[in-house]
Amino acid sequence: MATAGPARAGGLLQRLPPAAWRCGPRRARSATACPPAAQVRQAFLRFFQEQHGHRLVPSAPVRPRGDPGLLFVNAGMNQFKPIFLGTAHPQSELVQYQRVVNSQKCVRAGGKHNDLDDVGRDVYHHTFFEMLGNWSFGDYFKEKACGMAWELLTQVYEISKDRLYVTYFGGDALLGLSPDEESRDIWLSLGVPPSHVLPFPLKENFWEMGETGPCGPCTEIHYDHVGGGRHAAALVNQDNPDVVEIWNLVFMQYSREVDGSLRSLPQHHVDTGMGLERLVTVLQSKHSNYDTDLFTPILDAIHKSTLPPLKHLLSCSPLHRAAGALVTRAWWGGADIGSVNMAYRVVADHVRTLSVCIADGVYPGMSGAELVLRRILRRAVRFCTEVLHAPPGFLASLVPAVVEVLGDAYPELRKNTDQIMTIINDNEAAFLSSLLRGRRIIDRTLQQIGPSKFFPTEVAWSLHGNLGFPLDLIDLMVEEKGIQLDWATLGQLAQKDAEQSHEQLEGSVARLDVHSLAQLQRDGVPATDDSPKYAYTIGQDGKYAFSFCQATVLMLYKDHSLQKEVGAGQRCGVLLDRTNFYAEQGGQAHDQGYLMRLGQQDVLFPVESVHFSGGYVIHEVTTPETLRAGDQVQLFVAEAHRLACMVNHTATHLLSFALRRVLGDRTEQQGSHVTAEQLRFDFSTKAPVTTQQLREVEGVIQEMVERNETVYMGEVPLALASGVQGLRTIDEVYPDPVRVVSVGVPIESALTLNSQAAMQTSVELCCGTHLLQTGAMQDLTIISERQLVKGISQIIAVTREQAKQPLAAECLCLPDSGLLLRMFYF
Ligand SMILES: Nc1ncnc2c1ncn2[C@@H]1O[C@H](COP(=O)(O)OP(=O)(O)OP(=O)(O)O)[C@@H](O)[C@H]1O
Ligand SMILES: [Zn+2]
C-alpha cells in the first residue's frame, strides 16, 4: 500500500487547530502556537491507527512482566518480546498482533540501558520518558516503515526536511554483514538528499535485544536544532546537544546465537521508537526537553517553593554541561549556579520517574528495580536539600505537577497520587535519618583508622548495601578529610555481586529459543496438552487421587537446538505430547517428580524444573540413559509436593478474599508466590494492618475451611470473565479462554450478569492447581506481616499441620531500610 498523501494527513489532524503545527523552527516562535505535548502524542497514535491500520495497545506498566533479566520496561518493544521470541501463548491476544502502535512509559536507569548519569547534565536524556512506537509483526518491512516515518515527520508534523538526517547500517566485515543498502535506497527514493543519508557501524546502527536473541540493522532519524541552511552531517551521533536522535527504526531480521553467529529469523519484524520529549522539543521550537510543556509545570512548581533563583535553567550550553559535570563532585560542599540548574533538571526528571514507577507498583526498596528507584529517590532528595535548600516534604509536593502533566495519558497516576506522595515522604524521612547515622558511622570510622590513605572497604560496602549510601557520596564525605575509597576493591565487589545475580538468572533455565520455537511451529508440533495437570479427584475419605499420565517424547532440547536423541548424563529439556506436570507460572512453583521409560521400571529420569514457553511445556532432566524422540514415558508427579502447592494456592485465594473482606474493597493484590512450604502475599492497603485485623482475616478463612466449600474451576471466554464486578485479576496477560476459580459458587452463577458472587466469595482468574474442597487446608496461620513500604504489606502464611505449630519467637531487624517489621507469635 502506498503511503498516505498530504491530503489524508491533513484529514488526520483536522480536529487540531491549524496553527498548532505552524511553529517549526523556521516559522514564528510563539509559545501559544506550539502544539501541546498531548496533541503531539495523540497525532502519532492517530496517524498509525487511523491512516495505517495499526491497533492501539496501551502502555504496559514499567514493572516488567515475566522478564527477570529486565529491571524496568525500557522500550516500547518489551511487552512484545514474546512475539519476537516466538514464546507468546498460542491462545493469547499477542499472537494475533500484526500492526501495533503505542506510547510506552519507559525507564532507563539501570541494567543495559542506564541513562541515569546523563540526566541533569544534558537536556535530552531522562530516566523516565515516553516512547512512541509502531510495530510490524511479520507484516510490512523496511519500505513502508521508512515511508510512514517520513510522511509523519515531514507532512503531518511539518518538520523541515533540511533539518533531518538519516543513518543506516554501514556493514560489518568481521561478521560478514553487508551494508543495509536497502534502507539507504529507500531514504533516497523518498527524496532525502544523499548528503543527509549516512552510514554508521555496528555500534550505532545494529540493534540487539541482549547477548543472544533477535537483532538487526536499524535506521535512525536525527534532527539539527540549529539549522539555518548549515550542513550538520558531521555532528550526527557525536553526542552533540544540537543534533539529536529522535527516532529509531529497527528491522529485526536475525537472531544472535550463543556462538556469536547470526541466523535469519523465521519472521521479519519492524520495531520503532521515538522519544516524545525530544519530538515535542522539536515541534515547540525549543532546544531543551525541559523547556517544553512536559516539564515546565514541574519546574515552575520547584521554582515557586525554593529559594535559589532560576537562572539559565532552560538553556544548557556545552559550557553549562561541562560545569554541570564538574559540580556533581563539588556540590556536596556547597551550591553554585551550575548545580542549581542541574538540580532543577534532576529533581524534575526524578520526580516523574518516581511517580510513574510507584503508580505501577515499583517501590523504593532493597534489591533490583526497587533498589534503583531508591537510589533515584535519594539522588533527588540530595539535590533538593543540599542544592535547593528545600525542606523535607518538598519532593513529594511536586507530584501534583507531574500528575497535571501526565495524568490524562496515564490515569494510574491520578488514581494513586496520595500513595505516591506518602511513599516519597516516608522514604525521604528514612534517608534523611540514615544520612545522619551514616555521617556518624563515617566520623567514628575516620577517628578509628588513624593515619591511612584509604577508608575501610567493608564499612563503605556495608553503608552502601545496608544504608543505601551511594558510593560517590561516601567518597565525597571522606574526601573532605583527605581520605579515599579503594575503588579497585569496591569495583571487584560490585562485579562479584553482578555475576552472582547473572548466574542465578541464567542458571537453571531451560527455555526454548526463537528458532526452536519456530521450527516446532513449522513442523506442526502441537502445543503440549497439559490438561492432565488438572486431572485429579477427591475420595470419600478426603484423599486426593492424581490420575496417571503416559506420553511420547516429541523432541529433546539441548545446546539451544532441538535434538532427536540425547546421550546419558546430559542435561536437557524434554518435550512431550502431553503432561500432568505443572510448569512454573502464575506465582505457583513447578511440580517435582520423575519420568520413567515404558517397560524400564528401574531407571528414573528426575525432573528438575518445568517451564512453559510458547505453548510448550519443557521438563528439565539430567538423563541417566539415552533418551530418544518417540520413547514412551510414564510421568510421576510428586503427589505430596503437588498437594501442598494446591493447598497453599487455594489458601492464597482465600487470603486475598479475607483481606478484602476485613480491610475493605480497595485492598489489591500486588504479588504472590506459592510453594509447598508456604505462601507469600503482597497487597496494597490504606493503613497498617493491626494484629486484631489479622486474626479476623484468619477467622474468615477458617470459616471457609470449616464449611469445606467446593472449589469450582472452568474455562470461560476472557471477555466474559473480565467484565465481572469484583473479580480478582492481576495485571497479567491472560490466555483466551481463561480459567476461572470460584470458591463455593459455581462458575456459571458467579459469572452471570449482576451476580454479586465475586464480591461475596473468592472468584479469580487463575491457571494454578487448586483443592477441590477447602477442607484439606485444615488451618491457616499468618506467620509474619510486614510493611514493605507505607501502603504495601506482605504476609507470609502456612497451612495444615504447620499452621498448628507454635512458632519460635524470633526478632528480625532490618538495618534502617525504612521497613517496619512485625512478627506475630501464637
Ligand atoms: N534516556 C532517554 N530520554 C529520553 N528519550 C530517550 C532516551 N533514550 C532514548 N530516547 C528516545 O527513544 C528513541 C529510541 O530509543 P533508542 O534505544 O534507539 O535510543 P538511544 O540510541 O539509547 O538514544 P541515545 O543514543 O540518544 O541515548 C530515541 O531515538 C530517543 O528519541
Ligand atoms: Zn491463583
Check pLDDT > 90 for residue 285. yes
Q: How confident is the model at residue 5 (pLDDT cuts 50, 70, 90)?
A: very low
CA pair distance 346, 360, nearest whole angstrom: 21
> Exposed, middle or buried by CB within 10 Å (0-12, 13-18, 19+), for 522?
exposed
CB distance 250 to 216 below 8 Å: yes
C-alpha cell at 809: 519467637
Provide mean pLDDT across the span 442-459.
85
- Specify the range with the lowest mean pLDDT, choosing from 336-345, 422-431, 521-530: 336-345
Q: Whose CA is nearest to atom 23 of ligand 1?
A: 245
Task: Report how far ligand 1's centroid is from the alpha carbon of 433 (Å).
Answer: 36
Provide mean pLDDT across the span 396-403.
98
Task: Tell me the backbone φ, ψ of residue 222, rounded to 5 degrees.
Answer: -115, 155
Type of residue found at 584: E
pLDDT at 730: 60
Per residue in 347-368, pLDDT (tens digit) is: 999 999 999 999 998 988 877 8
CA distances from 778 to 546, 643, 665, 716, 799 (A): 20, 13, 26, 30, 7
Provide mean pLDDT across the span 272-289.
97
Task: Report how far ligand 2's centroid is from the alpha carbon of 739 (Å).
Answer: 10
Q: Whose CA is nearest to atom 7 of ligand 1?
A: 125
Q: How confident is the model at residue 324 (pLDDT cuts 50, 70, 90)?
A: very low
pLDDT at 631: 96
Q: Whose CA is nearest to atom 18 of ligand 1?
A: 248
Looking at per-residue pLDDT, the higher value among 142 and 722 belongs to 142
Mutate to test the pocket of ligand 1, among 125, 126, 289 (most ligand atoms within 8 A of CB): 125
From 641, 678, 649, select the one nearest 544 (Cα to Cα): 641
Beta strands in 493-592 (DSSP E): 536-538, 544-546, 549-558, 561-563, 565-566, 571-576
Is 770 marked as a binding-site residue?
Answer: yes
- Identify the structural domains of the chain with CATH numbers, from first to last: 6-290 (3.30.930.10), 295-504 (no CATH), 514-637 (2.40.30.130), 643-823 (3.30.980.10)
Per residue in 105-114, pLDDT (tens digit) is: 999 987 666 7
Check pLDDT > 50 for residue 313. no
Provide mean pLDDT across the span 255-278.
91
DSSP state of 117: G
C-alpha cell at 795: 504476609
User: Which atom of ligand 1 lies at the shortest distance from residue 244's CA?
Assistant: 26
Looking at per-residue pLDDT, the higher value among 66 and 419 belongs to 419
C-alpha cell at 235: 555532528
Check pLDDT > 90 for residue 147. yes
Q: Whose CA is nearest to atom 8 of ligand 1?
A: 125
Per residue in 599-638, pLDDT (tens digit) is: 887 888 889 999 988 899 999 998 888 999 999 999 999 9
CA pair distance 711, 741, nearest whole angstrom: 7
Mutate to test the pocket of ligand 1, among 70, 245, 282, 376 (most ligand atoms within 8 A of CB): 245
In DSSP notation, 642-675 reads HHHHHHHHHHHHHHHHHHHHHH-TT-EEEEEEE-
Cβ neighbours of residue 283 closer than 8 Å, sequence gap 6 or more: 21, 23, 24, 34, 35, 40, 157, 159
Is 126 marked as a binding-site residue?
Answer: no
SS3 286: coil
